[in-house]
Structure 1
């Protein structure tokens, strides 16, 4: 067997042996120390982790009578078992990845020895890693952070959707949580109490996302075109005025708007009353509440689109407009043939992002209406609730964790599918492929 094969087999048997065989003693000892440490930590925990993820516990917390006293007996906490099991499995995955890398390193070093190439010392290897591989070395820290702080919670949420973790009957440690497969998703579309709410809230979410995206986008284009018109003076002043709604924190703007649209004491209804127009139920009627959130979202969102469009307008070559004027094009024709194609080419990816953001636009709905007014046909949801605010209420207010996890998966599938499909159809994506 060649040296590369011997080194790879030795590293397969135990981390570091292949490096020791290749006379890289410090590296070999470091890898061996990593495996020893991993075995010391993983061996006692891996079995319990697999058992915990598979069973989610077998013994509930309760009281046992000892003599004349009731003594509390600790039981299994299904959620703690699931979380600790996931952590252990993620650590095991990282260890396996490092194990594979050590085998490849031993194989390559053995191959270099066969070719008569000098084997780098530990100092040379360390200098190479901190110089040539410095970006990868620094990226490894945030990658681990993303793995445990982003990926693992997402996996945990997905797994909850396949359990019966919900109040009032399945909340640990009083009760154990069980795996139920796709029952949660089936209940979401088959049980009338859940399906009516899901269809109603999902329909309003899509309608809201389309209207909110279109209104802010078109409004931003119109405002930008008006500011950049030749007959408009003090352009900097107008830009500053229109950017103020975006510059002020949304929390303040939305709470102020909530008071302005108050049905009883709000200034808007008071002014309407002074002119004999009566009072409108801005936040208490389902239809008017939806109109209100759309108008307020335009107030907040148009400045964002305006700033974006202003930047694009300044980048359009002026000679194109001059050539169009020579050909006798009208203002509308110049807008349709020159301005709008430039705007769409640059903003379609951002437009898709805005649509996805409006599907998950939690702050506008929650701070302005809290999802109200109440809808008697809905389960834990109001007339203006989006899927994301309904998810929030299910989780924080009603402890319906399995159902909220299922809704979170549905939101991800909707947003991801729509965004990928639309972006791949856009000119910016197609022309990027042509350039490459």
Structure 2
């Protein structure tokens, strides 16, 4: 007999909480019912307007109308607010649908207990059961809601902007409305010469920067760690402390200090070079030397991080492997190639992939050191050292090209996601649980 579970499910489908009331779970049923009523009261009057706003992005603009001798402002639709309002309502609907499905499943389980002639849990028993067996889900529910509304929803909003013409000077609400344009923004990045030239140039430099910044800091950290751990090196703790100082100091301070040090007119580095008759270099004003400068400064900041990681790995490598290699007559280079480097790569490959992804989005070094400069005349709103992420910043805050910035943000995400997933799947760190089998 499945009479009770069937009736409970049908009642829960008709009205959330009725199934629990049918199963004599009065308090639980009332709570479910109150959630549905509250959602209906708040969402129902707004749902139609939210869908209309997302589809049309508004129909009337803000303008001034002359009434007698006085001009009065008539409020219009704000396309961006309509997108945000629509997303909030749709995400709330998604949450309420989740509660609705939970209500049906709960009614089914209680009805099943009645069909099996077993007692139905009281509210107190349901609470104790849930907190005992489903405690992790309850603890994760609030952070999950936070991620939904403060991470996923802004991402969806950003993606949607890429398919609009939201940019200055022609489409900035409320004076002028925004329209859906499909893939036109992406097509402009490829087809329009001014945009495509800038996009390709910045993209190539971003990849070169990410590779060089990752490789130099990673292998620089390995070199420093190996030197510190060499036999016969005294004051190891002192050396570790000295090399970790650049990482301990906030990047904002370090980068601003470095910016002054490399200043071409009054920077100490050019002054010291002048004392030796070498003359100064355009560290921050020449495109080539500016790129050399940012890579060098990034090494100063990034090598300590890799050094600390490698030092921990070196202490975990079994000593008997090196003793066996000595017995076999292996040289120092052979021991490094066959023993040390495989252990380091196995342990740090996930971090290496994350460092590469992080360097693609390394906003601080570029923005605080060069600001993306020096300027490049044939680029659209970008400089010679701009990465995609700093170009996105300039497009958004300095030039109000929000649709192009959103398209660039999507491209950055795709590059980082594809590279990271592909490398994670190929990495032995994720295929093998132990280095030594």
Q: Common fold, TM-score beyond 0.5? A: yes
> Quick check: 2:163–2:185 contact (8 Å CA) kept in 1?
yes
Question: Which residue does 1:99 correspond to in 2?
Answer: 100
- Which piece of structure 1 moves more, 380-389 or 106-115? 106-115
| TM-score normalised according to structure 1 size | 0.98
* Partner secondary structure for residue 432 of structure 2: helix
* Partner secondary structure for residue 65 of structure 1: strand
Q: What CA distance in whole angstroms lies between the structure 2 residues aligned with 1:349 and 1:149?
A: 27
Question: Which residue does 1:85 correspond to in 2?
Answer: 86
> Quick check: 2:162–2:407 contact (8 Å CA) kept in 1?
yes
- Which piece of structure 1 moves more, 218-227 or 112-121? 112-121
Q: What CA distance in whole angstroms lies between the structure 2 residues aligned with 1:108 and 1:123?
A: 16
Q: CA deviation at 1:231?
A: 2.0
> Quick check: 2:343–2:435 contact (8 Å CA) kept in 1?
no
Q: CA deviation at 1:126?
A: 1.6
Question: Which residue does 2:214 correspond to in 1?
Answer: 213
Question: Which residue does 2:189 correspond to in 1?
Answer: 188
RMSD: 1.3
* Partner secondary structure for residue 104 of structure 1: helix
Question: Which residue does 1:236 correspond to in 2?
Answer: 237
Q: What CA distance in whole angstroms lies between the structure 1 residues aligned with 2:435 and 2:364?
A: 39
Q: CA deviation at 1:142?
A: 1.0
Question: Which residue does 1:12 correspond to in 2?
Answer: 13
Question: Which residue does 1:415 correspond to in 2?
Answer: 416
**Change in 2 beyond 3 A, CA 1:222/1:285:** same
Question: Which residue does 1:31 correspond to in 2?
Answer: 32
Question: Which residue does 1:345 correspond to in 2?
Answer: 346
* Partner secondary structure for residue 72 of structure 2: strand
Tell me the number of residue pairs that the alignment of Structure 1 and Structure 2 aligns: 435
* Partner secondary structure for residue 64 of structure 1: strand
Q: What CA distance in whole angstroms lies between the structure 1 residues aligned with 2:242 and 2:405?
A: 41
Question: Which residue does 2:291 correspond to in 1?
Answer: 290
Q: Deviations over 1:300-345 (max 9, x none)?
A: 0000000000000000011110110011111011101100000000
Q: What CA distance in whole angstroms lies between the structure 2 residues aligned with 1:434 and 1:346?
A: 9
Q: What CA distance in whole angstroms lies between the structure 2 residues aligned with 1:127 and 1:411?
A: 46
Runs of 4+ in structure 1 displaced over 3 angstroms? 432-435
Question: Which residue does 1:109 correspond to in 2?
Answer: 110
Q: Deviations over 1:229-265 (max 9, x none)?
A: 0021110000001111111111111000000000010
Where does the alignment leave 5 or more consecutive residues of structure 1 unmatched? none
Q: Deviations over 1:77-135 (max 9, x none)?
A: 01111101100100000001100110111111111111112101111112222333222
Matches within 5 A, 1:158-197: 158-197=159-198
* Partner secondary structure for residue 72 of structure 1: strand
* Partner secondary structure for residue 376 of structure 1: coil
Q: CA deviation at 1:175?
A: 0.5
> Quick check: 2:214–2:352 contact (8 Å CA) kept in 1?
yes
Q: What CA distance in whole angstroms lies between the structure 1 residues aligned with 2:434 and 2:288?
A: 45
Q: CA deviation at 1:433?
A: 11
Q: Deviations over 1:393-436 (max 9, x none)?
A: 0011011000000000000000000011111111111214999x
Q: What CA distance in whole angstroms lies between the structure 2 residues aligned with 1:37 and 1:260?
A: 61
Question: Which residue does 1:55 correspond to in 2?
Answer: 56
Q: What CA distance in whole angstroms lies between the structure 1 residues aligned with 2:434 and 2:329?
A: 36
Q: What CA distance in whole angstroms lies between the structure 1 residues aligned with 2:106 and 2:310?
A: 52
**2:386 corresponds to 1:391:** no
